[in-house]
Amino acid sequence: MTATYVIEGREVTSLDRFWQVIGEAVNGPGGHFGTNLDAFADCLSGGYGTPDDGDFIIEWRDHEASRRALGYDETVRRLDERLGRAHPSNRAAIEAERDRAAAGEGPTVFDWIVEIIEERAPGRLLLD
């Protein structure tokens, strides 16, 4: 039987809140399912609450509310954080990505999350 994990889009008000919502959707109250993009990708590969056979769906209800919350403002904020800890050789690329986001261009945090789900769990994301 296919497991369904529901994300209520209006509850996702920031990336930090997304980690809480997805963690609880998959692993119950107080549950975790990654707290950064790399850990999230690893969790989607199995063994962290999803069925061993990979038979699950992530149903993202009212995803447009999440898309707005995880839009360019949140993307700029996250890229600013990344700049603060980046190796000097990576700074120019992050700054360029940040400048594009500040101009309302390029992928957003929402896009990053969707891309990870589509790469690690193809066909398992339902955007409502």
* H helix runs in 29-90, sequence order: 37-44, 63-69, 72-85
Entry pTM: 0.94
Q: How far apart are CA 104 and CA 128, in angstroms?
A: 24
What fold is seen in the domain 1-69+108-128? Barnase; Chain D (3.30.370)
All CATH 3.30.370.10 domain ranges of the chain, comma separated, are 1-69+108-128
What tens digit of pLDDT does each residue of 22-67 get? 999 999 999 999 999 999 999 998 878 888 788 999 999 999 999 9
What tens digit of pLDDT does each residue of 53-107 get? 889 999 999 999 999 999 999 999 999 999 999 999 999 999 999 999 999 999 9
pLDDT score at 50: 87
- The answer to whether 121 and 44 have CB atoms below 8 angstroms apart is yes
